[in-house]
């Protein structure tokens, strides 16, 4: 980010995405959408609120949650709920990806969809169960948390 003019383009893009999704364009919605789009990670509401406030000024916790729900409902954000962690948000890319969660540090990384299309996995279910999506969470240790193999 350099100079004030640099912020105009992402702002316009955020506004366009809100309109396309059928949402009213408001400053908090633009700010939260920009905060999510700026990061490649999976951020919780607190972190997003902090980042959005740098763009739009004060934003209450409740306002942040309202915006996150509206953007998620409209299909602009993807919300991932992992037991033991606050809900994480990322830009919805409709790529049907899964997540790996590190048991050591809590880091979350994307895992590509196994077959490239939903529902990705075929559960063993009786006929007439219409599976539409598979959201898989892989648990384990990231390289930073894994115990290094003994040096030989
Ligand atoms: Zn880790
Ligand atoms: Zn993800």
Q: Mean of the per-residue pLDDT values for the chain? A: 89
Average pLDDT over residues 93-98: 87
All domains of the chain in start order, with CATH: 8-89 (1.10.10.10), 95-145 (3.30.1490)
Counting ligands in written order, the one closest to the CA of 110 is 2
The torsion angles phi and psi of 98, rounded to 5 degrees, stand at -110, -175
pLDDT of residue 96: 84
| CA 126 to ligand 2 center in whole angstroms | 30
| Least distant ligand from the CA of 96 | 2
Nearest-angstrom CA–CA distance, 82 and 75: 19
Count of C-beta atoms within a 10 Å radius of residue 71: 24
- What residue ranges in 75-143 does DSSP mark as E strands? 77-80, 88-91, 98-102, 108-111, 137-140
Nearest residue to 14 via CA among 27, 1, 4: 27
Give the pLDDT of residue 116.
66
Give me the pLDDT at residue 3, please. Answer: 46
CA of 142 to the centre of ligand 1 (A): 4
Phi then psi dihedrals of residue 99, to 5 deg: -130, 145
Q: Give whole-number Cα distances, 73 to 23, 29, 78, 106, 125, in Å.
A: 10, 13, 9, 26, 28
Task: Find where tokens 């648990």 sit.
Answer: 139
Q: Is the pLDDT of residue 144 over 60?
A: yes
DSSP state of 110: E
Ligand 1 centre from 102 Cα, in Å? 5
Residues 6+ apart with CB under 8 A from 44: 85, 86, 87, 88, 89
- 5 falls in which pLDDT band (50, 70, 90)? low
* pLDDT value of residue 2: 46
Among 70-79, 111-120, 142-151, name the one with the lowest average pLDDT: 111-120
């Amino acid at each position: 980010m350099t100079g004030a003019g640099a912020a105009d383009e992402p702002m316009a893009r955020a506004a366009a995405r809100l309109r396309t999704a059928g949402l009213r364009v408001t400053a908090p919605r633009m700010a939260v959408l920009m905060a999510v789009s700026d990061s490649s990670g999976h951020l919780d509401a607190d972190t997003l609120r902090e980042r959005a406030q740098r763009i739009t000024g004060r934003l209450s916790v409740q306002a942040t949650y309202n915006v996150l729900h509206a953007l998620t409902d409209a299909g602009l954000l993807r919300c991932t709920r992992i037991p033991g962690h606050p809900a994480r948000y990322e830009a919805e890319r409709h790529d049907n990806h899964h997540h790996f969660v590190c048991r050591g540090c809590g880091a979350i990384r994307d895992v590509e969809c196994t077959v490239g299309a939903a529902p990705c996995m075929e559960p063993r279910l009786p006929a007439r169960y219409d599976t539409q999506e598979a959201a898989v969470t892989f648990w384990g240790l990231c390289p930073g948390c894994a115990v290094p193999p003994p040096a030989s």
